[in-house]
Structure 1
């Protein structure tokens, strides 16, 4: 963009989350981006087909986005991009951002590679649109040639000083294994970035970093294990990138499957439990209301905070295992009561006769309306959603929002009333209508009645009740032989449905189960190479699936998916409640 005569070049004071100085071509978007499922770690291309930057390459640019969103695995993708030489040269955000920043921190700590990350005020960020080249450094973000001396009055306020206990200092010393002190340095750096005054103990950890995103994710875990890393509190593991016990018979890529299995083994060597599920809330030992935990995986974080009432930040990949190795976490984010209050109100006009597809559609829409703040939802009092409804809502919400939780008045534990969810603060309000949900349904279904070659279920992992509902739906019916039906499921739930006889019933119908992995990591031939169109009941997979699979993905209710397995066709029209 050329400057008008007399117009000063752009310059704004900045807080540098990661130090450095760099200049490069600006790549701007006012839409947040999930690097996991949104950016190819081998190419640097934006693969999220719904993002304005789709098809653009990040390599060497100054990437300016409001922040990250979606998956906690964005940190792992960014680190892999850095090591592949495909990362941006620098990044500018309009809000503090932990997930992507953590990826750079770990690259610094483990590999000595970095890139600067700056945060500027939202009004300054909006002025970046249309600029061609940008410079980061010296406490500012500016156009080349701008003579900018940061105005101390305009600089972000200084953060509180982090106070470490004797225990914390011990964990940083040579008296502990190298893995422990490396992990503790990363925990302390993140705590300082967040402005935490101290560190806290947590009761359990759920590790998302066991998903294979490339050689760097495996090298990171194996280094920690080789350096004597051992978890010091109960630690579960997220879904991995292959069915560890059955990938050979499933025919998935042996190189990738072996790497994914080796990554899982590295975490198990450090003492984590091989749970391999993206729905840890389905496991025995799920946390209690008010309990401080450290969970990663976006849908799990949102469910833990919102539905269980436990307390966790949206921990990035790699920080999760660092907390498991040290037992210490920043006293920040949703660990603090004041940070759990809603900051936007969403009034929902619930259509009559809704089926279960209402919940993922609504979560997806509300996440877009609250991309970085906690919402409180009204209008659903007395609806009594079940746990699978809330799982689907939370996964859809976590796909489009970076916020770590939501409130639904009269439904979720910290929202018995509107005032309880807000702390008595007056909030701006937005409304979600049936027309909005129709728009989202058509976004997922640009065409209708398509021939379906794969029904993909279990993103997040399928529950016992969902498996039971499918077995009932298909009783006495015959699957279309041209349609594959695959359910991703955690080991614990799979054992339960075997014991109940449900697994045998579903397998007799023609269902294939994939344990350990989820649809964000499933590979061919589980996704049949010849398949053109996939049907799912997951708002999360309907969003990420096209970019991850290279296939057309359509969305419907669980009943729609069950019916499509018999007829071979996607829904021919929106459900009656959206008509």
Structure 2
């Protein structure tokens, strides 16, 4: 191949060289990359088992969790991250992690957006030594210009703050330090993100949901403590996502004290800045859930998708650390799904050949969401063909969580089920030239096989429920399925839920009833953060009704997974058959 030069847009400038590690598949850093070692642990990804350290990483974009920015920060602070990242399109979450490292820790890597054509050509250089200088990528050092040779290798050059963002008087006051150092740094971070998004003004928001309270490593704690010590106080109502431990029970559960104390300290730091200890990844279950049209700033991928798609509220998919920055100022970039034109679909997913609603079970919705996310990795889709199914809120929650695992898009539409999709025409813009994709049973069966990583029939020793957090309705349904049955003593069944739901379920007598059956309840944390000893070491498999956890769980736990409906999960807990495929899918 002849030497080539590729021009892109640098969101963080600098000069580095390294071996190209490339894939045409998006990657979630949270649940997909180990921040302590730099290994890619997403076992469904083409780069699984590769290490990021000393590479130039090329991927179309990120996907999945908003905590990817936290993982990126830890990778950079641990010197386990890539030397630079080349994206096909604009990427918010991972780029924000680099910006935080630069603004707070004075450590960063070049970030370059190449666009579709340049990215496709760069993929052909996989495995070769390449050179990144500001916004250019070179396949041969001889192509680097004389002026660029004067840059010191490894040097990072900060971009100035966006100069054409219209600032209000209070924005300028924040930036000038009138409201303290925490607010000043927060406003710098917000303006850098506004520049990335192309937003030209900021807007007021009514509430924030913070995902940065998840302990990804020392960097996440140091960042929060700096904001606290700089006098940071939230200016709008702020809820907290699931944390990395069950705050009230972690010692009794045998959690490593070093990890447990650090995770607890992080949660307390956010509380000290005025955030509420809601500790749930499903803030839409709280009484404070936003209304249709309300402008909010939520992080946590499934919560963002649910807020936009099901509640009809308006939020971007805010990265960790940007969430608290917005909470400390009450100001956010006016862009993305905050603007009506950016909420329209550019992919039409037509479901064909699927049996009617009376024949499917609740595994249908996360499976469909997982598949739609895979075929629409960066674009908002609209699903047609299931208008008669009438999915409930828990079905939409399961769909959205699995969708957000595979896609970076901040929302979806389902005609006849989500509030803005009163018709197909209501949510598409013909100027986007939307592409139409048919989804049939054969394709869903392929996605089913991906989620079921157990390669041969293996005994189940853990049934995992509540990713995202179980609702009161789901808890009631579980109790109905367990009544009159006996749990197998060799199978554990564990539910994660928020404190609010746990309290309501306790008042209704459901917790006592399910605990008598053998269910263990865990609050405050969620399955993407749970490890040993809550998940005991064994050779058995884990069964879950969560498409999200079935995807991430293999890499996070090293265990094989079964994905099934809630009823099948209860059967497995009782020692029943687990190897079957649902009739609606096999038929």
CA distance in 2, matches of 1:175, 1:550: 50
* Correspondent of 1:46 among 40, 45, 61: 40
Name the CA distance, whole Å, in 2 between partners of 1:456 and 1:341. Answer: 35
**Aligned residue runs from structure 1 range 34-73, under 5 A:** 34-73=28-67
Alignment of 1:28-177 (within 5 A): 28-131=22-125, 132-145=128-141, 147=143, 161-177=164-180
Contact conserved, 1:160 with 1:196, CA < 8 A, in 2? no
Q: Which of the numbers 539, 545, 550 marks the counterpart of 1:537?
A: 545
Inter-partner Cα distance in structure 1 for 2:501 and 2:387: 30
Which residue in the other structure is 1:257 paired with? Answer: 260
Aligned residue in 1 for 2:227: 224
Correspondence list, 1:336-347, <5 A: 336-347=339-350
* Structure-1 separation of matches of 2:444 and 2:319: 30
Equivalent residue number for residue 478 of structure 1:
486
Aligned to 2:300: 297
**Pairing 1:317-356 to 2, within 5 Å after superposition:** 317-349=320-352, 350-352=354-356, 353-356=359-362
Q: Deviations over 1:30-86 (max 9, x none)?
A: 001000000000000000000000000000110000010000000000000000000
Output the CA distance in 1 between the equivalents of 2:251 and 2:87: 43
Q: For residue 252 of structure 1, report the CA deviation from its aligned partner.
A: 1.5
Matched with 2:507 is 499
Matching of residues 516-555 of structure 1 within 5 Å? 516-530=524-538, 532-555=540-563
Distance 1:37 1:165, change over 3 A: same
The residue aligned with 2:156 is: none
Q: CA deviation at 1:532?
A: 2.5
Q: Do structure 1's residue 402 and structure 2's residue 408 form an aligned pair?
A: yes
Partners of 1:205 and 1:316 in 2: CA distance: 12
Residues 449 and 573 in structure 1, CA contact (< 8 A), matched pair in contact too: no
The residue that corresponds to 1:573 in the other structure is 580
Unaligned runs of 5+ in 1: 151-158
Rounded Cα–Cα distance in structure 1 between residues aligned with 2:296 and 2:182: 21
Residue 376 of structure 1, aligned match among 375, 382, 399:
382
Structure 1 Cα separation of the partners of residues 523 and 220 of structure 2? 21
Question: 1:485, 1:511 within 8 Å by CA — same for their partners in 2?
Answer: yes
Q: What residue number does 1:422 align with? A: 428
> Is 1:188 paired with 2:188?
no
Contact map agreement 2:57 2:86 (CA 8 A) in 1: yes
Please, which of 25, 36, 44 is the counterpart of residue 19 of structure 2?
25
Aligned counterparts of 2:544 and 2:242: Cα–Cα separation in 1? 18
Residue 136 of structure 1: SS of its match in structure 2?
strand
Separation of aligned partners in 1, 2:101 and 2:543? 38
1-structure distance, mates of 2:456, 2:504: 36
Secondary structure in structure 2 of the residue aligned to 1:249: coil
Q: CA deviation at 1:530?
A: 2.4
TM-score by length of structure 1 reads 0.95
Give the structure 1 partner of residue 206 of structure 2: 203
Give the drift of 1:148.
6.7
Alignment TM-score, normalising by the size of structure 2: 0.94
State the alpha-carbon separation in 2 of the partners of residues 551 and 364 from structure 1.
20
Cα offset for 1:136?
1.4
Q: Is the 8 A contact 1:451 1:568 kept in 2?
A: no
* Alpha-carbon shift at residue 138 of structure 1 (Å): 4.0
Question: Matches of 1:467 and 1:55 in 2, distance apart?
Answer: 37
* Contact 2:12/2:134 (8 A) holds in 1: no
User: 1:143, CA displacement in angstroms?
Assistant: 1.2
- Return the alpha-carbon distance in structure 2 between the equivalents of residues 509 and 490 of structure 1: 21
Of 323-332 and 129-138, more deviation after overlay is shown by 129-138
Structure 1 partner of 2:181: 178
- C-alpha deviations, 1:258-317, integer Å up to 9, x for none? 111111000000000000000000000100111110000000000000000100000000
Secondary structure of the residue that 1:520 maps to in structure 2?
A: helix
> Structure 1 stretches (4+) deviating beyond 4 angstroms?
none
Q: Which residue of 2 aligns with 1:309?
A: 312
Measure, in 1, the Cα distance between the counterparts of 2:374 and 2:334.
28
Q: Secondary structure at the match of 2:195?
A: helix
Q: 2:158: which partner in 1?
A: none
1:88-121 alpha-carbon deviations (Å, 9 max, x no partner): 0001000010100000100011110010000112
Length, aligned pairs only? 564
Instruction: Report the counterpart of residue 154 of structure 1 in structure 2.
Output: none
Answer whether contact 2:304 2:316 (CA < 8 A) is retained.
yes
The superposition leaves residues 304-341 of structure 1 with CA deviations (integer Å, 9 ceiling, x where unpaired) of: 00000100000000000000000000001110111100
* Distance in 2 of aligned mates of 1:334 and 1:115: 28
Decide whether the 8 Å contact of 2:346 with 2:429 is kept in 1.
no
**Aligned CA-pair RMSD:** 1.4
Aligned equivalents of 1:532, 1:83: Cα separation in 2: 36
Distance 1:16 1:135 in 2: 14
Q: How far off is 1:139 after superposition?
A: 3.1
